[in-house]
Structure 1
Amino acid sequence: MRGARAETGGADRRGHLRYVALGDSHTEGVGDGDDTTGLRGWADRLAELIAAAEPTARYANLAVRGRLAHQVRAGQLAPALALRPDLATVVAGVNDVLRPRFDAGRVAGEVEAMFAALTGAGTHVVTLAFPDLGRIAPLARPLAPRLTELDARIRAAAARHGVTVVDTSGHAVSTDPRLWTADRLHASPLGHERIAAAVAEALGLPGSGDAWTRPLPPRPLPGGPEALAAELRWAAAFLGPWLGRRLRGRSSGDGRTAKRPLLTGAAAAREAP
């Protein structure tokens, strides 16, 4: 394809009239809006693009922040199947990578189980390849081997089940800091917009293309002491509190439920609470 590399095993594509999104904070839309005005996110934005081509399309978003892969499977797969989607996006595993006890095979197995169940029901499934966290947050570089192994396992599972893999990593803009929020774990509004455009291109939606791959205007980047100071500020503001929640056995998703549990008009995704 022209922009994002899309790998697919030839899943049956019957249209995109019933789109269901499964996942964690990335799919919930954290980083694009807030809990007061409402989160938008790439899945909402994709639903809007689908609705522009298919006005009768409906959309549900079952994603909840903080969920591990096995929690996504346990809490979202059955409700997703009950909605009988013809299109589903499944993105999970990054939260597992950040945990002290990480087993790439087990995590990929949870994701593959979702691939198998959904494609077995005739759903066209799409997933996203993971970005290089080390290029977004240098302090996260030690996690790179974990992410690489998980990504390879999920790609292999996708190939076995005819799942489309949207890979944006071949484009430098995917790790431009302006596409990420200050916490460097969630996409910014512009990042969510670009992800939605990449998936739309992979799906061949009318009007889609590779404009999302274009780099942003250049700007000076911090270096030396300034860059180090920025890393230390990030660790204090985001890494420290995250580690504190882990030590207390808490999650950012505690007490939360899906923001859009039922299929409703995809064109109204922007107005979802």
Structure 2
Amino acid sequence: MQKNPVLPAHSSLVAIGDSFTEGMSDLKPDGSYRGWADVLATRMAARTPGFRYANLAVRGKLIGQIVEEQVDVAVAMRPDVITLVGGLNDTLRPKCDMGRVRDLLTEAVERLTPACEQLVLMRSPGRQGPVLERFRPRMEELFAVVDELAERHGALVVDLYGAPSLADPRLWDVDRLHLTAEGHRRVAEAVWQTLGYEPEDPEWRTPIPATAPPGWVARRVADARFTREYLLPWIGRRLTGRSSGDGRAPKRPELLPYEA
């Protein structure tokens, strides 16, 4: 007689990282962000009474800031699951010391692993386009470190970079840096399945159906808006050493009960 598989029953989740984990650009009606980690927590809470969730991620954070500001806090919480996504902001900087990124990511994993039952790492998604092509070598170097650390420390790796659906520009917001609500939903599904839960969407990797591409005028209008509203301010912050996360607190800084 075949036994039923044992399903996971995690009672707590702590998410750390940058804007990707904070949830930009999955905007809620009240102006705050939801994001894949909130969606994942909602699903987990529906299965486990008393489920607790904290999200320490803050937009714009580099891996050094994540290690300095978030890792010790997550360690002290000692949850069942910790997700760590960081280092991608570093790879987008003109001057990036990949050796330092590797060392800091290694430090984070070594400190987080003993503090939870399961550490989850990710190979972040990459949007098709010139930005991905320019920084692809650094990104793939970062992902090689992620794979190496996961194998060494028993962490799970969610491969979003290898998912064709998440490369589709239609799943990215107008800032071309953050996923839409549908993109975040697919990420939540990917993490959900990687943790061992039964799939709710087995086809999350499948690309969305093709549509007619926008015309030349529409593309130029979109490019102008992107440059004015996002690219120039981003360049300005880089030149002045500022970050979009300066002075911003995490949206869920404490490990508290989370209602489904």
Whether TM-score is above 0.5 comes out as yes
Q: What CA distance in whole angstroms lies between the structure 2 residues aligned with 1:82 and 1:139? A: 37
Contact 1:105 1:153 survives alignment (8 Å): no
1:222: Cα distance to partner?
3.8
Report the Cα distance in structure 1 between the residues aligned to 2:66 and 2:175, rounded to whole angstroms: 22
Residue 152 of structure 1 and its aligned partner are, at CA, apart by 1.0
Equivalent pairs, count = 254
- Matched residues in 2 for 1:96 and 1:171: separation? 22
Which shows bigger deviation, 122-131 or 57-66? 122-131
* Superposition deviation, residue 237 in structure 1: 3.0
Q: 1:238 to 1:140 in 2, by over 3 A?
A: farther
> Aligned pair 1:39/2:33, yes or no?
yes
From 28, 53, 56, give the equivalent of 1:62: 56
Are residues 221 and 40 of structure 1, via their aligned partners in 2, closer, same or farther at CA, if it must alter by over 3 Å? same
**Per the alignment, in what secondary structure is the counterpart of residue 59 of structure 1?**
strand
Aligned residue in 2 for 1:98? 92
Give distance in 2, aligned partners of 1:207 and 1:257.
33
More relative contact order, 1 or 2 (CA 8 Å, 6+ apart):
1
1:79 to 69, 73, 76: 73
Residue from 200, 205, 214 that aligns with 2:192: 200
Q: CA deviation at 1:267?
A: 2.5
The reply to whether residue 30 of structure 1 matches residue 24 of structure 2 is yes
Mapping of residues 80-229 of structure 1, within 5 Å: 80-133=74-127, 135=128, 137-222=129-214, 227=219
TM-score by length of 2: 0.89
Change (3 A) 1:231 1:37: closer
Question: Normalising by the residue count of structure 1, what TM-score does the alignment of the two structures yield?
Answer: 0.85
CA distance in structure 1 between the aligned counterparts of 2:121 and 2:215, rounded to whole angstroms: 35
Q: CA deviation at 1:181?
A: 0.6
1:235 aligned residue: 227
Matches of 2:109 and 2:137, distance apart in 1? 24
Aligned residue for 2:204, secondary structure, equals: helix
RMSD of the TM alignment (CA)?
Answer: 2.2
What do the CA deviations read for 1:45-100 (whole angstroms, capped 9, x no partner)? 00011112213211000111111001001000111111111100000011111112
- Offset, 1:263: 1.3
2:218 and 2:29 mapped to 1: Cα distance?
A: 32
The percentage of counterpart residues that share the same residue type is 44
Report SS of the residue matched to 1:31. coil
CA distance in 1, matches of 2:112, 2:9: 15
Partner of 1:265: 257
In structure 2, relative to structure 1, the CA distance for the partners of 1:35 and 1:103 (3 Å cut) is: farther
